[in-house]
Structures are given as C-alpha cells and as structure tokens.
Amino acid sequence: MPANKPKFYLTTPIYYTNGLPHIGHTYSTIVCDTIRRYKRMRGYDVAMTTGTDEHGVNVERAAKKAGVPESEFVAKMAAEWKVLWDELGIPSDEFIRTTDLKHAHTVQWLFKLCRENGFVYPGHYTGQYCIYDNAYVDVKPGENCPDCGRPTETVTEANYFFKLSAFQKPLLNWYAKHPEFIQPESRRNEILSFVEGGLRDLSITRTSVRWGIPVPGEEPHVFYVWFDALTAYLSAVGGPNYEKQGYWPADVHIVGKDIIRFHTVYWPAFLMAAGLPIPKQVWAHGWFLMDAAKMSKSKGNVVTPRPIVGVLGMDALRYYLLRETVFGQDGNFSYDTLVTRYNSDLANGLGNLASRTTAMIEKYFGGSVPNPSDATKFTSDDENLDQQVRLRADVLARDETPMGALYRLEELDFSRALEAIWSFISSVDMYLTSTQPWVLAEDPTKKERLGRVLYTAAESLRFIAVLAYPVLPQTAEKLWKQLGQNTAIGSQNPSGLTWGSLKPGTKIEKPQPLFPRIEKAEAIERMESMENEPQKQSAPVTPATPATMLTAGGAAAATAPAANEKIGIEDFAKVEMRVGQIKTAERIVGADKLLKLTVDIGTEIRQICAGIAQYYEPEKLIGRKVAVVVNLAPRKLRGVESNGMIVAASVGPEGRPVLAGFPDEDVEIGARLK
Ligand code: ME8
C-alpha cells in the first residue's frame, strides 16, 4: 500500500449509554461504514470513530436506580454497544469511551487552551436544564423541554462559562467561507438564522453533578457533558498529539438532525477558542420514524437491529435503510416495507439476476466464463443491445455524471446511488429476456452469440458487485467470489472499472442464492417475536476472559458467552485451532496496534493481522510457533485482509497480549489443538 495515501476521518455520534442501540443509531453507524468502505476503495487511509457518551446526571441516576456504581453501569453498557457493532460487521477503527483516561486528558487540555486564550470565566448559572438532552433550555421553571417535551429542572450553581457570544462573527464567517460545512442545505439555513439571532455564553462546567470529568484544580467542578462528549472525536485520534496521527480535522461528522446545533455551533467555537483546526463537514441526517413519531427509547417505539439481521441478514438492513430514505430526510420504518424491499429488490432483483446468469454459465459453458468474441464489434440488432448494456455500465461507474452511482456515493446520496444500480440490474434482466439465451442454447450455430450474451451479463454483475460493495459488503463479496474473482473486493477501485476485464475462461463458483425469497407474514412474525423477547445479554459484563484471541483490539471476545454460561464440546469443536509458524511479520502503516503476519499452518500460508504491535517486535516473531484459529471467516483490519486469529492470553488491566505457544516440546506445524 502506498505510504502517502490521503487520510480521511469520519465519526458517528458518541452514543449515550442509557439504552441499547436501535435502528436510528444503527443507521448513523451504517452510513459511516458505507462511507468508510467507499473511501477505502477510492484509495484513502480511512479512520472511523464511534463510542459511548458515559457521563452526566442521567447516567448518575440510572446507575443509582440499578444499584451499581456508575463505572460498572457504563462499562456494561459500553461493552454491549461495542459487541453489537462488531457482531453487525460495522466495528469502528477507534471506539472511544468518554470515561477513557486519554479522553479525560484531552478534555482538560482543550479547556486549558480555551481558558489561556481568554474564553473562559467563572460565574453562576440559574435556569432550566433538560437532563435527557443534556441541554440548558430557554424556558420558565415548570415548563417542558422545547426539543424533547420532557420535564426540565431548575439548576442554580457555580460554573465556568465559555464566551460563546464572542464567536458569533467568527462562526458566520466560517459558514460563509465553507458553505459545505453544514449539510444538508436546509440545516445550514436553520443554523445560520440561529447564530444570526445572537449567541449567549454557555456554562461548560457543573458543580451539582458528580459523575463527570473533573476540572483540574477546580473540584467539585466537572465538565458539561457536551464539552466532554464532542471532544471525544479528537481524543480518538491522538488528542493533544493529533498532529502525529494526521487524521484531524475530521472530514465529516455524521449526526442526526437532533444534535446539529452542538456540532455546528458549540464544537467549532470550542475549537476556534483553543486555536485548533475545525472539522470540514457536519452532515445531519433525518430521523427514522415509527408511526410518524421519532423512534426513541423514551417513547418505547423502538426497533432493534438484531432480529432483522437474524431473519433477513445485515445487508438487507443496510440496503433498506439507505435505499428507502433520501439521505438528510426523515424516513418511516416498517417491517412491511422492509420485507417488500427484500423480496422485490434483493431476492427477485439482484439475487435472481446473479443466479440465472451463473446457472446458465454453469449449464451451457461448464462453469467457465465464455468468450465474448470481439467485444467492440456491434453489428446486428442484438449486438446493439449488448452495446447498450455496456454503455450503461460505463456510465454507472463514473463519478462526474449524476447518472453515475459513484457520483451519488461521493455526494452521500445513497438512495439515488442504489436507484441507479438497481435500474441497471433491471436493464440487464431485460437484456436477458430479449436475447433469450435459453433459446440460443438450443441452436449449436448460435453458441458464439450465446457466449457473448452470458459474458455481457456476467461482466455487468462484476460492475454491480464493485459498485454495490460499500452498501452491501457481504453480498458483493459473495457475488465477487461466485464470479471466480479471488482478489479482495474491498480494494477494487470502482472508478477503475473497465468493461471487458472479466477474463474468459474464469471458473465461476457453483450458483448459490444471494437472498433466498421469504414469506412476508412469516418473516414479520419472526422479527416481531424476537424484538419482544427480553433483551439478551450479549456482552461479557467484565472483561475477565482468560485468553483473548487477538486480531485488532481483541474483537474476538465479542461473541463470547457470559462468564458463567457453559458450552458443550460440540460448540468448542466448531473452533478449529492449529499450530502455526510465523514466517514474516511487519508493521502496518497507520495502524499502531497491528502487525501483519504470514503464518504457515501446515496446509497453507495464511495472512493474519494481530493486535500485538505494541508488545512484540516483528523481527523477533519470525520462526515462533503459535496457536491459530484457522476456520474464522476472513475479515479486513485497517484495509488488510486477516485470515484467522492468533491466540494470546490477556494480561493485566490493560489486557497486554502474551502469545500462547509451545516452548517445551517440539510440535508439528498444522497439529490440531483440541
Ligand atoms: O445525542 N433516527 O447520543 P444519542 C435516526 N451522546 N437517527 C437516530 C434516531 C432516529 N430515530 N435516534 C437516534 C447523543 N439516532 C449524544 C451525542 S456526540 C459528541 C454526542 C442517531 O445516543 C442520530 O445520529 O442520543 C442521533 O443524532 C444520535 O443517534 C443520538 O444518539
């Protein structure tokens, strides 16, 4: 990988830990993951941060109600969030908790800079506060929060104030100079008129709350949760040493429209006061509604992702959320439309095109991609049809025309990008219907023509796989493999797609359905009954697992059963562990924790990434025998494919990895551990 890849940094909101993720949170995270995959394909070195916002009076009270210390309460919740993202295949590159020490240091440093620059002063605040939104609100005592409608509380306390009023002009100048900063346009107008209306100084510390980051030397002051939480974006990529990592300023903060003001007014003002770079863009998407109301835990109208993923798969959820709603606008969620989309667009649309094409190549050409003969010569009427497909494919893969899916992805216009791809899918379907390859197959003199038609369909599928990958990563990868491609689809640059690159003779895989059709009523019933089951604990409550299987950040602990839950021997037997020998080891540019290893496991040499770079010198690992989980599905870590896991003990509070090994006896490479 070239060392000079441009960096791209994006973030989800740092979610509150007072509930578990629902479809709304999942949407923001899926959006970020889609952008991350897209940008990686386009050659960027991308980092994505998500995390948990764990301080504040709300958490203080929730922990009290649960009868546990705050730290225990938030640790359990944060683990749940992290596990869910890992399980859904959308883990962040940086998962920041606002209770992390490195984060506390960054917040205190930011405050110090703002104070040294003269933008902080002591005072007293009396007014109404909404503990749910963590916002000071301009209402009278006894009135409800104008944003969420819940009761407000009167707060009187000594605070440090931030001179937000001094930033009215600098902010307006910033918005004028960077019209792309607030997206979409409608939100920009809303913020402009808010700031033009004048800004009042903001209390950024609190003395009536205990559960927060202390203001050094000023106890009992703790930081106001938004001063704290926003800073997490910066702590995740180096904090005071952000320049070393090179990801700051963020390229885009993806947020819901509920928190746009904090991100486009407070946050740039804090950064300006401290003299730090301002993020390039804040993109506020709309809300998912249930029965016309915002889906939210407090209203009890939430839908969670696990049942949907369990019944229809993660790609179906990703497709539905990104296709159904224009990015930036509100959307309605319903199981009914979800299953309708699944059956029409995924099972009948993409799934059907893929299976009919691969099945015909299997049947008529023994599973080898046929030769298109001269792909540039178009003579007969039929061949004009070929040309049309080819031209449409070329347009789809362009980023300078609004008809191109790439253009739409670049604009974060996901629904139209998908619309363009799906309209191409139906034109390829129509092409097959008009050319009737099954009729051509009956006439041996038409064999060449038949080959050309099926080549055209298969090559179209290759374009579709690459272009759909950011949204449908699992499906695109399956399709890619079905087309006999053995490169990593995630590193294909879609703008480099060239018609005719699919090699004739390539062996395709046996056709397998990408999306089995599903009966609507049954699917809905299954999802609803799973949704109504009591929430299953999926995260280990304490991280006291004795051995961690290491890839990045020990993600394997993610799906471990709770400490007291027993598994049967048949469960253990599913994990295939073998003795491997490390052949090469190198650091990965831009990933401080990871080493890229090649490991001989007896039958083959595997590439495996392990999160041990901070504890092991690569040179010293060569020749070492290790325990390897060999039947783990391959995954990408920092853009590098990892095909297995190295087993290590996790030692001490930091979880220092110590490689499991065989120092006393000589063991054969490839021997199974049981
Ligand atoms: O606000 N539709 O955290 P939060 C779409 N901790 N998106 C939704 C949604 C819905 N119905 N409900 C939630 C906080 N979201 C703060 C953020 S950032 C420094 C601190 C998404 O857990 C959306 O992105 O309440 C929204 O902005 C975010 O979750 C709010 O998450």
CA 322 / ligand 1 centre spacing (Å): 17
> Given the CA of residue 254, which atom of ligand 1 is nearest to it?
24
Closest protein CA for atom 27 of ligand 1: 256
Q: 288: Cβ below 6 Å to ligand 1?
A: yes
Contact 531, 307 (CB under 8 A): yes
Count of CB atoms situated within 10 Å of the CB of 198: 8
**pLDDT score for 588:** 83
Residue in the block written with tokens 């003002």: 269
Least Cα distance to 584 among 602, 553, 606 occurs for 606
CA 285 / ligand 1 centre spacing (Å): 10
Q: 258: Cβ below 6 Å to ligand 1?
A: yes
> From CA 608, how far away is CA 621, in angstroms rounded?
13
CA 521 / ligand 1 centre spacing (Å): 31
Contact 339, 524 (CB under 8 A): yes
Least Cα distance to 265 among 250, 248, 282, 251 occurs for 282
Q: Candidates 23, 26, 53, 55: which one to mutate for ligand 1, based on the most atoms within 8 Å of Cβ?
A: 53
CA 364 / ligand 1 centre spacing (Å): 52
> Given the CA of residue 233, which atom of ligand 1 is nearest to it?
19
CA 420 / ligand 1 centre spacing (Å): 29
- The 3-state secondary structure of 177-192, one letter per residue: HCCCCEECHHHHHHHH
Q: Candidates 258, 283, 299: which one to mutate for ligand 1, based on the most atoms within 8 Å of Cβ?
A: 258
Report the SS3 class of residue 155. Answer: strand
Closest protein CA for atom 24 of ligand 1: 256
Please give the DSSP secondary-structure letter assigned to residue 83. Answer: H
Q: Candidates 11, 259, 320: which one to mutate for ligand 1, based on the most atoms within 8 Å of Cβ?
A: 259
Q: 227: Cβ below 6 Å to ligand 1?
A: no
Least Cα distance to 61 among 103, 90, 19, 18 occurs for 18
CA 246 / ligand 1 centre spacing (Å): 27
Q: State phi, psi for 102 to the nearest 5 degrees.
A: -65, -30
Closest protein CA for atom 8 of ligand 1: 24
Calculate the alpha carbon distances from 593 to 94, 197, 617, 637 in Å.
11, 47, 12, 11
Contact 30, 318 (CB under 8 A): yes
Q: 453: Cβ below 6 Å to ligand 1?
A: no
Q: 259: Cβ below 6 Å to ligand 1?
A: yes
Q: 370: Cβ below 6 Å to ligand 1?
A: no
Q: 14: Cβ below 6 Å to ligand 1?
A: yes
Q: 230: Cβ below 6 Å to ligand 1?
A: yes
Q: 294: Cβ below 6 Å to ligand 1?
A: yes
Sketch out the chain's domains with CATH numbers: 7-307 (3.40.50.620), 350-496 (1.10.730.10), 547-673 (2.40.50.140)
Low-confidence ranges of the chain (pLDDT < 70): 1-3, 298, 374-379, 381, 534-567, 590, 636, 638-639, 652-654
Closest protein CA for atom 23 of ligand 1: 256
CA 28 / ligand 1 centre spacing (Å): 8
Q: 255: Cβ below 6 Å to ligand 1?
A: yes
Closest protein CA for atom 9 of ligand 1: 24
**pLDDT score for 566:** 67
